[in-house]
Structure 1
Amino acid sequence: MRQITLAAIVSGLTVTGVLAHSKAEKTTPADAASVDAVDVIAIEFDDLMRVTAVSMTGPEGLVGVERETGMEPVSEFRARPPDDLPAGTYTVDWRGLSADGHPMQGTFSFTLAD
């Protein structure tokens, strides 16, 4: 009986630990979307996330983005791309620390139409 109880507790802690990681729920632009313009790069998380790095690459290489969101934990990260982006496919890579302190990362892409 004691072994079953201990196994149930350990199993419960393991499931809770896995569920505690923050994850990206929505991006702007949406992943794989084709858009006519990009005013903001945004990532919405299901729990607080401290985004420690973000980069965007496009048809001409690395693109500078200006963070609107600081280094504090947030449920939505925002950055502004340059106004004069050429048409093409763009990829956004991010890294951060979830609310439980685990390192997280993600990628999404979109196509800017002519």
Structure 2
Amino acid sequence: MIRALIASLMLALTATLAFAHSENQGTTPADGATVTEVPELSMRFDDPMLIITVTLTSPDGTVDIERETGMEPGLEFRAAPATPLAPGNYTFGWRGMASDGHPMQGSFSFTVTD
């Protein structure tokens, strides 16, 4: 009886921890995409995420972006390049805080062509 109770508690704890963090549900542009223009950079999450810092980099260095989403937790984050992006490879990196308080980070990459 005690073993069954302990096993049930362990299973419940494991299931709770498995769903503790927000998951990225998609990006614009999609990770690995090849596009001709990038009017918007966005990420969607399944649980509110506070995005603290973002960077857009190319082989030439950091690219200026304008944050369109405020500093409150949300299901979506949006930003835009300050100027049109030249052809090349780009990586969008982010750091944030999940609604459960855990720090999160990630990135996605895309290529701009003529």
Q: Same fold (TM over 0.5)?
A: yes
SS in 2 for 1:85: coil
Post-superposition Cα deviations, 1:69-98, rounded to whole Å, max 9, x if no partner, equal 111000000011122321000000111111
Query: Which stretches in structure 2 are left out of the alignment for 5+ residues?
Result: none
| Alignment-mate amino acid for residue 19 of structure 1 | F
Correspondence 1:63 to 2:57: no
Aligned to 2:6: 6
Aligned to 1:86: 86
Segments of 4+ moved more than 4 angstroms: none
Q: TM-score, normalised by structure 2?
A: 0.94
| Alignment-mate amino acid for residue 95 of structure 2 | R
Post-superposition Cα deviations, 1:5-64, rounded to whole Å, max 9, x if no partner, equal 123113212221221210111000000000010001000001110011110101321011
SS in 1 for 2:85: coil
Tell me, in whole angstroms, the C-alpha distance in 2 between the residues paired with 1:94 and 1:72.
15
SS in 2 for 1:44: strand
Aligned to 1:44: 44
Query: Which stretches in structure 1 are left out of the alignment for 5+ residues?
Result: none
RMSD: 1.1
SS in 2 for 1:101: coil
Percent identity, aligned pairs only?
A: 50
How many residue pairs get aligned? The number is 114
Tell me, in whole angstroms, the C-alpha distance in 1 between the residues paired with 2:64 and 2:2.
58
